[in-house]
Amino acid sequence: MPATRPPLKILLASPRGFCAGVERAIQIVERSIEKYGAPVYVRHEIVHNRHVVERLKAIGAVFVEALDECPVDRPVIFSAHGVPKAVPAEARDRKMIYLDATCPLVSKVHVEAERHYAAGRQIVLIGHRGHPEVIGTIGQLPEGAVVLVETVEDALTFTPADPDKLAFVTQTTLSVDDTAAIVAALRQRFPAMAAPHREDICYATTNRQEAVKQLASQCDRLLVVGSPTSSNSLRLVEVALRSGADEARLVDDAADVDWDWLSGARVLGVTAGASAPEILVEGLIAAIGERFALTIEEISPMRETVAFKLPRALAG
Task: Identify which of 263, 262, 256, 281 has the alpha carbon closest to the alpha carbon of residue 271.
Answer: 281
Kindly report each contact of residues 145-152 with a partner whose C-beta sits within 8 Å and lies 24 or more positions away, as own/partner.
Answer: 145/117, 146/113, 146/122, 147/122, 147/123, 149/124, 149/125, 149/182, 149/186, 150/126, 151/182, 152/181, 152/182, 152/185
Query: 7: which strand partners?
Result: 293
177 near 152, Cβ under 8 Å? Answer: no
Distance CA 257, CA 238 (A): 18
Q: Is 69 a catalytic residue?
A: no
Check 23, 45, 112, 133 and give the catalytic one. Answer: 133
62 near 97, Cβ under 8 Å? Answer: no
Distance CA 112, CA 104 (A): 12
Catalytic residues: 133
